[in-house]
């Protein structure tokens, strides 16, 4: 496999897995860490709010990025990885994830 196709496989698989993993992380609150903005403290995994709200967004993105990096690394090490991968998945999944979030958050717009 050429370096270019390896990079392509990594980038496209990363995009797909990141979108899926991010949606799963948000929906199930799989944050790798929690940030407490009132105190400026970080804590591992999901922690309850204390002295103000807890922020999980950074942790969700980190969880998704790690999952996507591992999956993309494995996929790009496979022979002929990019030939088997339809490039359309790499934009279909992020768009589907965006539509999903629109659906999940519809309650904000229907009150």
Residues that bind another protein in the complex, under the rule CB under 8 A: 4, 7-8, 10-12, 14-15, 18-19, 22, 26, 35, 37-38, 40, 52-53, 55, 57-58, 60-61, 64-65, 68, 87-88, 90-91, 94-95, 97-98, 101-102, 105, 107-109, 111
Measured from the CB atom, the residue of 45 and 57 that comes closer to another protein is 57
Whose tokens are 């088997």? That residue is: 84
Measured from the CB atom, the residue of 14 and 30 that comes closer to another protein is 14
Q: Quote the least distance from Cβ 7 to another protein, whole Å.
A: 6
User: 58 - beta bridge partners?
Assistant: none
For residue 36, the surrounding DSSP H or E stretch is strand 33-36
Residue 102 near residue 23, CB atoms below 8 Å: no
Q: How far apart are CA 61 and CA 13, in angstroms?
A: 16
């Amino acid at each position: 496999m050429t370096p270019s196709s390896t990079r392509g496989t990594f980038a496209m698989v990363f995009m797909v897995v990141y979108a899926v993993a991010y949606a799963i992380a948000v929906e199930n609150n799989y944050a790798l860490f929690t940030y407490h903005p009132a105190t400026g403290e970080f804590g591992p995994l999901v922690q309850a709010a204390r002295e103000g709200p807890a922020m999980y967004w950074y942790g969700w993105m980190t969880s998704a990025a790690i999952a996507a990096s591992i999956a993309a690394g494995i996929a790009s090490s496979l022979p002929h990885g990019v030939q088997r991968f339809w490039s359309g998945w790499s934009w279909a999944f992020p768009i589907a994830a965006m539509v999903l979030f629109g659906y999940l958050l519809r309650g904000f717009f229907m009150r």
